[in-house]
Amino acid sequence: MDILYALQQLREGPLSFLTPFMSAVSSGAIIISVAIIGIAYWAYNKRFGTLGIFSLTFGFLLNSAIKVTACEYRPWVLDSRLTPASTSSLATGYSMPSAHATLATAALGTFSAGFWKQRKWVSILCGVLLALVMFSRMWLGCHTLADVLVGFAACAALLPLVRLFLLWGDGAKNRDALLLVLGIVIGIVALTYGYLKPYPIEYTTTGELLVDPYVMVRDYCSSVGVFWGALAGWFLERHFVKFTVDGAVGMRIARVVAGVAGAGILYLVLSFALGSVDINVAHVAKYCLVTCYCLAGWPWVFTHVEPRIYAALSR
């Protein structure tokens, strides 16, 4: 906590001008990285995009599982000297591990490994950005050093396993079906654990819950939904879509823009359609379907639509 307090003194004093930059790094690096992985999957390098998507998916689930296990409160709850930066209002729930550190490690770690042989400068840049993201979470007062290091270490250990997961799935016929079934079982076990485990119930001096376990279970359900959606989409794409990223540059750009718009529309439609369903069930279903759409649904659409567009333009 002393490290965070020292950073807070700098943040509120002579180096206050760095806070907007740190806030932008904290969120922007992950958003941009996720966007690049999505673009790669749909329009540049399908294999690389798949690896990135599974790294993020597995990292998200692992992060959620550790959070509800550790139930570690935010730094300002544990030490009254600390206050988070005003730009960190989205830092809610339990603290360990840092989701930003976990997801940044998943995305930037994928880039770093993928470009190491061809463009080492890209890998080095990814390492610098990852260090900045981790430091920014401490600068903003959202996480302790332990929080960011656990997020980094957990996901760094996971990345080679994700690569092995995909390699094993490609190794023989129907292995992907076995992995899909295994993933469903893992998700069920994870949900059961999240629902049944005890959570600390503590209140502030004003009578508010420090962390609402119901909200944490909801977020946990979202991670399981993404996990299941990625596995289902991966399986369906391999067997029934088999798309390629080929196409003119303009067509690829249109493919990405339309795909993102479709994902947003589907999310809104599902949010409305599932409004009367139990919120945890709704989160599992919504995130599962949106993720499955991204991996298999939208590729199926553009695989069938684009040839017709090319045919119409060639007349």
Tell me the pLDDT of the chain (315 aa) as tens digits.
788 888 888 888 888 888 888 888 887 877 887 888 888 899 989 999 999 999 999 999 999 999 999 988 888 888 878 888 865 555 668 888 998 899 889 988 888 887 787 888 888 988 898 999 999 999 888 889 999 999 999 999 999 999 999 999 988 888 999 999 999 999 999 999 998 999 888 887 787 888 888 888 888 999 999 999 999 999 999 999 999 998 889 899 999 999 999 999 999 999 999 988 888 999 999 999 999 999 999 999 999 888 887 777 666
The distance of Cα 68 from the centroid of its chain, to the nearest Å, equals 17
**Taking a C-beta distance cutoff of 8 angstroms, is the pair 101, 57 a contact?**
no
**Taking a C-beta distance cutoff of 8 angstroms, is the pair 295, 53 a contact?**
yes
pLDDT at 1: 77
Angle subtended at Cα 130 by Cα 127 and Cα 136, rounded to the nearest 5 degrees:
140
**Does the CA dihedral 199-204-206-208 come out positive or negative?**
negative
pLDDT at 209: 81
**Alpha helices in 12-83, H assignment, sequence order:** 19-43, 46-70, 75-78
pLDDT at 23: 87
Query: How does DSSP classify residue 204?
Result: -
DSSP for 230-258 reads: HHHHHHHIIIII-----S-HHHHHHHHHH
pLDDT at 90: 55
Q: Where exactly are the structural domains of the chain?
A: 1-163, 172-315
- Which SS3 state, helix, strand or coil, does residue 14 take? coil
Q: How far apart are CA 268 and CA 264, in angstroms?
A: 6
**Residue carrying the six token digits 């990285």:** 33
pLDDT at 76: 81
pLDDT at 29: 74
Q: How far apart are CA 42 and CA 32, in angstroms?
A: 15
